[in-house]
Amino acid sequence: MAESVGLGAENRGSVAAFAGGVGIGALGGLIGLGGAEFRLPLLIGAFRFGALEAVIVNKAMSLIVVSSALPFRTSTISFATIGSHWMIVANLLAGSLLGAW
């Protein structure tokens, strides 16, 4: 028997995840956000995550986006300037963690 040429189920999932990531990245980049607003419906709808699991993955991805963007933005604003506002950063982080919990 000849084997069907095409994408297997696991490859289709990878392609869907990649396509979703590209779409979220493009939309988030166009409006200046990290894409969290677009990620959550995709995680729950297309990838069938439960609500709690989707929120956890979404928060983790947001942390990765912010952490990776920070070094690239040092040409605009220095770490010293950010460090001088550490109380604001700590309050935002605490509020985000409390809200996620």
This prediction has a pTM of 0.59
Secondary structure tally for the chain: helices H, strands E: 5, 0
Separation between Cα atoms, residue 41 and residue 7, nearest integer Å: 25
Is-contact 15 5, C-beta < 8 A? Answer: no
Question: What is the tens place of the pLDDT at every residue in 56-82?
Answer: 888 888 888 778 877 888 888 888 888
Question: What is the tens place of the pLDDT at every residue in 3-48?
Answer: 444 556 666 678 888 888 888 878 777 776 666 777 888 888 888 8
Confidence (pLDDT) at 6: 52
